[in-house]
A and B are shown apart, each in its own frame.
Chain A
Amino acid sequence: MSNITGALYKIRYLDEFSRKKTLMHRLSPTIKLIVTLIYILLVVSFGKYQLGGVIAMSAYPLIMLSLAEMPAKELIKRVVVAMPFVMGVGIFNPVFDRDIMTYFLGIGISGGWISFLTLIVKGVLTVSSAIILVGTTGIENIAHSMRILKMPKIFVVLILLTYRYISVLMEEAASIWTAYKLRAPGQKGIRHDVWGPLLGQLLLRTYDRGIRVYDAMILRGFDGDFRMGTAFVTGIGSYLFLLIALAGFLIIRLSVITMILDLLI
């Protein structure tokens, strides 16, 4: 169960990290959210064979990581969790797209492999930028920024409660696993015939717990809007960050560097 308990600490690590006071943490949450959304859109906008361009976009998370003083190890651990889903989406590209597009050390590389790699890099970059955003801003501040940007209340509450549900789910999963393990000594993993009841229990228990947490929120006046203490102050530093980031993105997106990298690859 160390896996689930460990994962729980990992989730909370981001919450705790978001309370640091580095340069990146002090920037306006709304500006950081805007920059991250634009970054994700630009990364996704690259064509499926533009591997070079996508690689060039990795400059942003690398710089953010360094400015936020976030240990790369912590980021990588979280990005790896999302990778199986990305790989699942692109796994058949090399099978269906076999036309050789380029040669690397004399070996022919098919379009399928390039598009597969491009997809993976896109996944790594978009997930990294989102994790860095949560780690430097905090989920409540992000939710508040979303409302400032006029995103629908229901959508924001859904994101916020889903985020909270992850830790509820993990806590319940940890206690179910402990109870199972104590009565199933010497077993590796969970026997397949009890997966059904166990997952059913998990769903029902987390549902009940989720309802109780929600009750606690509405009893204290929660009406769907997450109100943070002080209004966000968007200082000159934040505007400067916005300008530099956008200029950087555009240069990479449109520049010759990207074209050269793409031609080389």
Chain B
Amino acid sequence: MSHHKIDIKDLDYMYPDGKKAVNGFSINITHGESVALVGANGAGKSTLLSLMVGILMPQKGEIIIGDTHLSKETLPLLRQKIGMTFQNADDQLFMNSVYEDVAFGPRNYKLNEEEVDARVIGALKKVDALHLKDRPPYKLSGGEKRAVSIATALSLDPDILLMDEPTAALDPKSRRRLIGILKEFAHTKIIATHDLDMALDVCDRTIVMNQGTVVADGRTKDIMVNDELLEKCSLERPLILQGQNN
């Protein structure tokens, strides 16, 4: 069974205060696609990611990962296949050492310790952070924390990676390094971001969200030069494309 594809149909979510964050959202993402999810603040990007991993449960519509419908019963299986990184890496790192933090997921899925060790070392190598394995997470720099938080998701060997603002609060060098790492992943990726230059670099496809719904879905290269659309959604051309003609 492949878990790499995602099918979301007519999804609705309203917060208890009455704010409708996701409103009739439908998309289909296939194996290995790298998708940027962009939109202004409050467009519903983070809510959508939370719905896809069952942190929030949809009030209407359905989410199908591979061939499995997302429900309370299927969550443990699906969460093993979907890795997610949060906007604030600090929220994701809670153990005493980087190694223990990355091993937390594989151990919860009761893998034997040899396998856990291989997963931890493999995940840390992928994000170029093996040298940090014995450090306490709270002593790492922002870029190192981000790399380790990605490793915590990778250690479960997920088919799909969801990332919420992965480049937020990174210095230019750490950001560039992270972009390099993301480009190497063969996973199906959905990256919610305001960093449109990164989106242009890493994602072939871009979905533009506004008021909880899809307003555009297409090739990143095309969307990033559609000034009318970007303006309407409180976005701007990526820096690298500013001053260029369509």
Alpha-carbon gap, A216 to B136, bound state (A): 18
Cβ–Cβ < 8 Å partners of B55 in chain A: 215, 219
Q: Are B105 and A220 in touch, CB under 8 angstroms? A: yes
Query: What distance in Å separates the Cβ of A163 from its nearest Cβ neighbour in chain B?
Result: 10
| B1, chain A: closest CB distance, angstroms | 19
Residues of B within 8 Å of A215, CB to CB, are: 50, 55, 86, 91
Q: A19-B97, A219-B84 are in contact. Are A212 and B91 (CB under 8 A)?
A: yes
Query: Within 8 Å of chain A (Cβ to Cβ): is B131?
Result: no
The reply to whether B136 and A221 contact each other, CB–CB distance below 8 Å, is: no
Which chain A positions have C-beta within 8 A of B152?
220
Bound state CA distance, A99 and B79, in angstroms?
Answer: 67
Choose, from A10-18, A37-45, A60-68, A84-92, the stretch at the interface: A10-18
Q: Count the A residues whose beta carbon is within 8 Å of the partner chain — how many?
A: 25
Residue contact A222 to B108, C-beta cutoff 8 Å: yes
Residues on B with C-beta less than 8 A from A164 are 94
Check if A221 sits within 8 Å of B76, measured CB to CB.
yes
In the complex, B113 has a CB within 8 A of chain A? yes
Measured CB to CB, the nearest residue on chain B to A225 is B108
> Once bound together, how far apart are the Cα atoms of A138 and B199, in whole Å?
42
Contact with A along B146-176 (1 / 0, CB 8 A): 0000001000100000000000000000000
Known: A220-B152, A227-B107. A18 touches B94 (CB 8 A): no
* In the bound complex, CA of A228 to CA of B108 (Å): 9
* B138 contacts across to A, CB distance below 8 A: 12
Chain B residues 55-73 with CB under 8 Å of chain A are 55
Given A213-B91, A229-B107, answer yes or no on A219-B53 (Cβ-Cβ < 8 Å): yes
Size category, B interface: 20 to 34
Query: CB-CB < 8 A to B97: which residues of A?
Result: 19
Asked whether A193 is an interface residue with its Cβ less than 8 Å from the other chain, the reply is no
Cβ A216 vs Cβ B156 within 8 A: no
Smallest CB-CB separation from B108: which chain A residue?
Answer: A221
Are A219 and B136 in contact (CB-based, < 8 A)? no
Is the beta-carbon distance between B95 and A216 smaller than 8 angstroms? no
Is B92's beta carbon under 8 Å from chain A?
yes
Is A187's beta carbon under 8 Å from chain B? no
Residues of A within 8 A of B12 (CB): none
By beta carbon, the residue of chain B nearest A16 is: B136
Q: Does B80 reach chain A (CB closer than 8 Å)?
A: yes
Against A, the Cβ 8 Å flags (1 = close, 0 = not) of B85-117 are: 010100110111100100111011110010010
Chain A hits for B104, CB < 8 A: 217, 220, 222
**The residue from B80, B91, B100 contacting A216, defined by CB atoms under 8 A apart:** B91
Find chain B residues with CB under 8 A from A15 CB.
96, 136
Task: List chain A residues, Cβ under 8 A from B96.
Answer: 15-16, 18-19, 138, 140
A51 to B110, CA, bound (A): 49
A-B contact pairs, 23 of them (CB 8 A): A12-B138, A15-B136, A16-B96, A16-B136, A19-B96, A19-B97, A212-B86, A212-B88, A212-B91, A213-B91, A213-B92, A213-B94, A216-B94, A217-B104, A218-B79, A219-B53, A219-B79, A220-B104, A221-B156, A222-B108, A229-B103, A229-B107, A229-B113
Counting from the closest, the 10 A-B pairs by CB-CB distance are: A221-B108, A220-B105, A212-B91, A227-B107, A216-B92, A215-B55, A15-B96, A221-B109, A213-B91, A220-B104
Q: Report which B residues bind A (CB closer than 8 A).
A: 50, 53, 55, 76, 79-80, 84, 86, 88, 91-92, 94-97, 100, 103-105, 107-110, 113, 116, 136, 138, 152, 156
